[in-house]
Amino acid sequence: MTAQLDTAWKPRAQALADELESRGDLTDPAWKAAVAATPRHVFVPEVYEQDTNAEWRPVDVTSPSGLNRVYSPTTLVTALADRGTHSEGISSSTKPDLMVRMLEALDVHNGHKVLEIGTGTGYNAGLLSHRLGDEQVFSVDLDAELVDPARDRLASIGLHPTLVTRDGAEGLQEHAPFDRIIATCSVPTMPRAWCEQLEDGGLLLADIQLGVGAGNLALLRRDGDQLEGRFTDRWAAFMLIRHHNERPRMLHAPADAGARTRTTSTPPNPWQDNRVVWFLAHLMGLPPGVRYGMRFDPDTRQPTAGTITAPDGSHAFVMLEPTPNGTWSVTETGPTPLWAAVERAQRQWREAGEPGWTRIGLTVTPDDQVVWIDQPTSEHQWSLTA
């Protein structure tokens, strides 16, 4: 690190820590000190941003504007994978505001042993190591191409947490149990290994996502065989956990034949306007792999309809402009009536008194993982594993 860079990053890191505190993301002085002392630019030597044509371009993180970006509450995409027709971000440095909110939610205390799933750049492992001492910190990621550089970066600033290349779904049995487990990639259900490797009374914070944008962070406490807790107030979404040898999902072209048009009293775009309903819709029949999007008017380029498409080619679009009687026109095609699942979710959400995230909980036992509203014995409950 050059002396010039050294004088450039420190005030920026301090300013970031101050900003996170003034925004209310940070309340614990120990995490504030960790943010101010951790050179994020060391962890993100490569950063990519999409230009207006959605092409990925590298950012010079040592330039003044690059450093400003690095020391701001922004997610930075740090690794791309070639998907043939396009590139896709496969690793990122999570927004520092989200990171510290998660660390505070995890209620970490000195002496705690913490496992992180999703080392990525190593920045979060750096924050944890600064706070707890590196012997208390363990972090795994799927690819050695991510883990080895993260280890080197941490070592370059004098930190030596235990970093392991591993499918994080397996946890890290040889160093279990952990007082806290934090996952910075999302999962469709809580992996058994995380539950088993958590100390009794320990906390697990992970992002449950049943589809794109269909989930949130859940904070669970272990009590014997069972983990239980609720979703967090502030919404967040992480990239989905990857596994080696994963087969790409077969996608069928959206079917246009047999279109069925009717009206609906369920507002369009729940993925944007009501994420609880969008999550519940996945529990109530939306198939895995559903994508959402928008239709645009070719002349005005204004959005006209929200769309959802399933891998089996089923498709639904809901006009954004309401009809004169306050409903919306919906058209469904293909074998799965996609909008019907959203309507069921909207109805149940209304019946349950329009709950926000913190009224929704999750109980994980060795046999099942159940989402509930208000309490585990509620009539509103759905199995994640069904």
Ligand X SMILES: C[S@@+](CC[C@H](N)C(=O)[O-])C[C@H]1O[C@@H](n2cnc3c(N)ncnc32)[C@H](O)[C@@H]1O
Q: Which parts of this chain interact with ligand X (CB under 6 A)?
A: 91-94, 117-118, 120-121, 123-124, 140-142, 146, 167-169, 184-185, 238-239, 241-243
Q: Count how many Cα atoms sit within 13 Å of the Cα of residue 329 in the half-sphere of its side chain.
A: 9
Task: Match 């009539």 to its residue by tokens.
Answer: 379
Sheet holding 303-309, edge to edge: 260-264, 328-333, 315-319, 303-309, 291-296
Minimum distance, C-beta of residue 299 to ligand X, in the bound complex (Å): 39
The total of other beta-carbon atoms located within 10 Å of residue 380's CB is: 18
Q: Which two tokens stand for residue 384?
A: 């994640």
Which amino acid is it at 371? V
Helix or strand or coil: residue 193? helix
The minimum distance between CB 159 and ligand X, in angstroms, equals 13
CB of 269 to ligand X, least distance (A): 25
Give the Cα separation of 306 and 342 in Å (integer).
13
What's the CA gap between 282 and 370, in Å, rounded? Answer: 14
Q: CA-CA distance, 156 to 96, in Å (whole number)?
A: 21
Active site residues: 91
Fill in the amino acid letter for 201: G
**CA 192 distance to own-chain centroid:** 19
Helix (H, G, I), strand (E, B) or coil at 320: coil
Respond yes or no on whether the N-terminal peptide bond of residue 254 is cis (omega within 30° of 0): no
Kindly state the smallest distance separating residue 206's Cβ from ligand X, in Å: 11
What is the closest distance, in whole angstroms, from the C-beta atom of residue 163 to ligand X in the complex? 11
In the complex with ligand X, the residue whose CB is nearer, 142 or 373, is 142
